[in-house]
């Protein structure tokens, strides 16, 4: 899912806390009951402008067909926006890599063209020593972006590195987005998804989203339609109980993940 919604979401949003983060609704003790849950390798934190270079690299990898991409460095500072990153500790083998190699997509690293090889060599043997890019303190596996407009939260993007798929990271980010929508007193959450993306549509349905319409020829790369999906009222006890249950299932499968408002203590 990726959307360029600046053209149709109105300006003006709910007030968000100074750091864009609200406290959560439950603790790990409530989720896990008397059972001690294993820790998840990944945690979720608020994104900062210093993360933008890595996030834009992930976006290029996740959505290579979309041009232009969103301006994450700009959107991170939006008054009505919130970006969350799924992160883990850097591994020793990753720290040995040169900085510009860490912000390249897999396709860019493997590009066999002579011009691409030359660029990699210049980066490795010259630019990384002269002007190395600033990397974040932790490894970023993926991110989710939210806009808060009036009483609605809109999920604008979920992007993951290819190597970090099928690890529960995307669903963890989605859970965190819903939790932040609840904490910011949004009434509903909406999103767009490609009509052909059955896997994503089933995930969203699992969390209570329903199809409410189409945006015809919404995606610029191939003219594919976007399915508009939205939740029932998320402040209802039924929705909160359903989210609580799914969050517990995710934690039991993948481990308890520290995230905004949910420290695990």
CA dist., res. 5 & res. 14, Å (int)? 17
Q: C-alpha distances in angstroms, 75 versus 56, 83, 95, 157, 223? A: 12, 8, 28, 12, 25
What DSSP letter does each residue of 151-195 carry, written as one string?
A: TEEEEEEEEE-GGGTTSSHHHHHHHHHHHHHHHTT-SEEEEEEET
Based on the residue annotation, tell me whether 192 is a catalytic residue of this protein: yes
224 classed as catalytic = no
Structure token digits, residue 41: 């390798």
CA distance 143 to 124: 27
Q: Quick one: how far is CA 64 from the chain centroid?
A: 16
Q: Which is catalytic among the residues 139, 204, 218, 219?
A: 204
Catalytic residue, candidates 59, 139, 192, 262 = 192
Helix intervals (H) in 67-145: 72-75, 92-95, 99-102, 106-110, 114-122, 128-130
**Which has the closest alpha carbon to 247: 209, 211, 187, 206?**
206
Residues 6+ apart with CB under 8 A from 137: none
**Catalytic positions:** 192, 204
């Amino acid at each position: 899912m990726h959307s360029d919604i600046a053209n149709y979401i109105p300006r003006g949003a709910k007030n968000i806390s100074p750091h864009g983060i609200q406290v959560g609704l439950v603790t790990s003790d409530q989720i896990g009951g008397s059972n001690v849950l294993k820790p998840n390798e990944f945690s979720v934190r608020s994104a900062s402008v210093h993360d933008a270079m890595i996030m834009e690299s992930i976006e290029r990898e996740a959505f290579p067909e979309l041009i232009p991409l969103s301006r994450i460095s700009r959107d991170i500072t939006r008054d009505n926006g919130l970006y969350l990153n799924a992160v883990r500790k850097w591994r020793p083998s990753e720290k040995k890599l040169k900085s510009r190699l860490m912000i390249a997509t897999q396709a860019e690293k493997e590009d066999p063209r002579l011009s691409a090889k030359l660029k990699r060599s210049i980066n490795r043997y010259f630019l990384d020593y002269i002007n190395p890019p600033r990397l974040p303190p932790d490894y970023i596996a993926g991110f989710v972006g939210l806009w808060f407009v009036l009483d609605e939260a809109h999920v604008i993007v979920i992007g993951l590195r290819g190597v970090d798929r099928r690890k529960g990271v995307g669903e963890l980010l989605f859970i965190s987005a819903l939790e932040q929508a609840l904490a910011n007193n949004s009434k509903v959450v909406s999103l767009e998804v490609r009509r052909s993306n059955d896997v994503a549509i089933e995930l969203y349905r699992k969390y209570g989203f329903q199809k409410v319409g189409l945006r015809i020829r919404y995606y610029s790369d191939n003219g594919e339609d976007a399915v508009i999906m939205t939740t029932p009222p998320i402040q209802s006890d039924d929705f909160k109980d359903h989210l609580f249950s799914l969050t517990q299932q995710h934690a039991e499968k993948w481990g308890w993940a520290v995230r905004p408002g949910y420290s695990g203590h």
